[in-house]
Amino acid sequence: MQFDWNNIDTVLLDMDGTLLDLHFDSHFWLEYMPRVWATRNGLMLEDARIKLLSMLDQHTGTLNWYCVDFWSAALGLDIMELKGQVAHKIAYRPTAEAFLRRCQQESDDVRMVTNAHRKVLELKIMKTNIDQYFDQLLCSHELEHPKEDAEFWHKLHQLKAFDPQRTLFIDDSEAVLESAARHGIKHIYSIAQPDSSMHRKTPSRFPMLNTLA
């Protein structure tokens, strides 16, 4: 699949599941955290996993879902310290760095737009140096709305104007892609396998990329 670079001025890219392998995040929340929480609270592992997933589901699509400070307080654990313990799993998706270099060649406005908390972004920068590829790195917490929310896109535009009809956006979240489409972004793509350890559970109505090459 070829991008229409002649009609693209601005490149907006998600981080987790798009540029970086979602396996780190999946492993942390679905495997590592339930074990830690079960041990700390004297729970059976499966009971801890069910309770934790139930709590996560209550905040899906909100800033709380992505906020390490919120979860540290809610669970009584230092989430960033725990993420650091499994940070060796942070890795690029195949061909992501080559694609980022291409973006730099094709556009003078390459931005990361992520729902990840700034503390998580800093950890991943430390492990990958991903910041070197971007003109700007934006976390939804700083715009006070997640990418699923229309207000995020309005604030993003106010921060630095861009033409939605000449913008490329890639993300692995269907809810986020739909929100971007409602904002009028023209060149929208999804990711076929955000997590290298599992197949995608649901299809996308947007073109899905196997790699970013």
pLDDT digits (tens, 9 = 90+) for 57-107: 889 888 998 999 999 999 999 999 999 999 999 999 999 999 999 999 999
Place of tokens 């905040």: 59
Q: What confidence tens digit (pLDDT) does each residue in 155-177 have?
A: 999 999 999 999 999 999 999 99
Q: DSSP of 166-198, one letter per residue?
A: GEEEE-S-HHHHHHHHHTT--EEEEES-SSTTS
pTM: 0.94
> Domain residue spans in the chain?
5-21+90-209, 24-88
d(CA 209, CA 213): 9
Q: Which two tokens stand for residue 76?
A: 């009584």
Instruction: Output the pLDDT for position 92.
Output: 97
CATH 3.40.50.620 fits 5-21+90-209, yes or no: no
d(CA 75, CA 71): 6
d(CA 118, CA 88): 19
Least confident of 83-97, 140-154, 196-210: 196-210
Kindly indicate the confidence band of residue 1, based on its pLDDT and cuts at 50, 70 and 90.
Answer: low
Is the pLDDT higher at 120 or at 55?
120
CA 174 remoteness from chain centre: 12
Can you list the pairs that 27-34 forms with residues at least 24 positions away whose Cβ atoms lie under 8 Å?
27/86, 27/89, 27/197, 28/82, 28/83, 28/86, 28/89, 29/56, 32/82, 32/85, 32/86, 33/75, 33/77, 33/82
